[in-house]
Amino acid sequence: MANAVIMPKAGITVESCIIGNWQKKVGDAVKLGDVLFTYETDKASFECESTAEGQLLEIFFQDGDEVPCLMNVCAVGDPGEDVASLRPDGAPAAEEAPAAAPAAGTAAAAPAVSVAAAPAGSDASVSPRARKLAEIAGVDAVLAAGTGPNGRVIERDVRRLMEEGVPAAAETAPAAAPVAVAAAEAEYEDVKFSGIRRAISKSMKGSLSSMAQLTHNFTFDAAAILNYRKALKAAGGELAGITLGDIILYAVSRTVLSCPDLNAHMLDDNNIRLFKHVNLGVAVDTPRGLMVPTIFRADEKSLLEISREVKELAAACRTGAISPDKLSGASFTVSNLGSFGVESFTPVINPPQTGIIGVCTTVDRPRKAADGGIELYPAMALSLTYDHRAVDGAPASRMMQELCRNLESFTTLLAK
């Protein structure tokens, strides 16, 4: 009896995943544990291993398809078994799968070109999935060269149309037109967003359009934390790995609770959830895009524990091995762009949170010395963006003043 392999549920908060690349094709032998395909959530990428053994009989979804978790993705069993009962609603029918090569005894059949690549602009039908993708992309599906049975336009044909443009057979313009199109296409490249890029785009747009965001900028004398960082580095061992960023995370975890409305989630326009502990989100740059893992109950962890955990989380983000459950649940976030020389910026709140702090670089600034002269001091800037629906400017500023004081006397904060 044929068995279905389902889309795994990669974390309790994940509802659907996007198929990356199939590692097996229809007809391949499959053993338990073989990697069938890669898939990604809006946060990380994974490999799906086969839970059945036999032959890969049918693939229900193709590369780039978004599939709900726990839905059948493919069927594995003995050759010739019927898999119709395993095919999920909305999945392409078996005839939409890539056509198998003709058997040796059918070599005299109609040329493959007449079936596998129907002329663009023909009256061939368009599959529902292909039609939906074309509507989203704003292209005319009938201009695609159909490679499905009897020249039917299927999803991969629309994707090819999006990438390569209208096939030459469908062009009705003068002969010189394709040359102009080719020349123009050489000037740019259209790139489809990855799952994580789409998630970032949706989240940031929603954040700015749904909140009353306001940013306050502060500076403090960073001499104390710079000197403390030097002492840690001189101590060697694991302490030498503690960074200025770790120090700021520690200080934020001890300070943000002084303004409870900043350590919170906006449930809707009239309700707010205040957290008793600081679940600190940390913005991490990765090759796949921005990720924000969470240090849960950071206010109860030591500086060294925070330093260890943020490094582990960042490494897992960059390799794509992090659990999606560690990429949610933050009550407040810190984004550090100081290493890029950024002197001031406006961080965007990660909804439903009500605040985020941007950490900037250190710049030497002049000030009046005790003897009446002028001296330079290392000034570090912090930018607080807050949701004005939940927090007023005065309490938000008081929290930032306290944070600056804590950083200027960091060893005292450690003693508390």
Catalytic annotation, residues? 388, 392
Residue 180 has a CB neighbour count (10 Å cut-off) of 11
Sheet holding 280-282, edge to edge: 213-221, 374-387, 355-368, 332-336, 280-282, 294-295
Please report which residue ranges of 45-194 form alpha helices under DSSP H: 112-116, 128-137, 155-164, 176-185
In whole angstroms, give the CA distance from residue 263 to residue 274. Answer: 6
CA distances from 5 to 70, 86, 232 (A): 9, 9, 51
Among residues 52, 116, 129, the alpha carbon closest in space to that of 88 is found at 129
DSSP β-ladder status, 45-49 and 29-30: unpaired
- Are 10 and 44 a contacting pair, CB within 8 Å? yes
CA distances from 297 to 66, 132, 141, 311 (A): 34, 44, 52, 16
